[in-house]
Homo-oligomer: A and B are copies of this chain.
Amino acid sequence: MADPLSSLPGYLLRRASAATLAELNQRLMGEGVNHADASLMLVIHANPGITQSEAGRMLGIQRANMVPFVARLETRGWLQREQVDGRSQGLSLTGAGATAMAKWRTVIDAFEAELLERVPAELRCHVVPILRYLWNDR
């Protein structure tokens, strides 16, 4: 059965992305979160006081779609808002959020390490640079 797509970088990018994302979400499921929740928490942890619009720009998520996203994490008690000025709210992790995120981070770090190990050692140093070149979007 001929596969005319499996040598196309764009196609491989899409399939590899979908497969690895599903795998990460599988591992995070036990913690009751998905990759998006975890990545937002990582961004806020690295930038306490960041607004949801700023976090959304960093993650490639639109303002409007950040609203229910942030609200859900807030409801779970993992992050809190603090009014910065009349229109902006700074986000930060709660104590429970920081504790929970530390666990997610070990899952993510282990996953990312395994991902890299799938690539032969002599090519491994090229993975991140190549992906950055392919991601032209910034």
Contacts and interface: CB of A to CB of B under 8 A. Distances in A.
A45 interface: yes
Interface in A1-24: 1-21, 23-24
B126 A1 contact: no
B47 A127 contact: no
Nearest to A134: B16
A131 B16 contact: yes
Nearest to A42: B4
A76 interface: no
Contacts of A116: 9
26 contacts: A1-B54, A3-B58, A4-B45, A4-B46, A5-B39, A5-B42, A6-B132, A9-B127, A9-B131, A10-B111, A10-B112, A11-B39, A12-B128, A12-B135, A13-B17, A13-B20, A13-B131, A14-B17, A14-B20, A15-B137, A16-B134, A17-B17, A17-B18, A19-B135, A115-B134, A127-B134
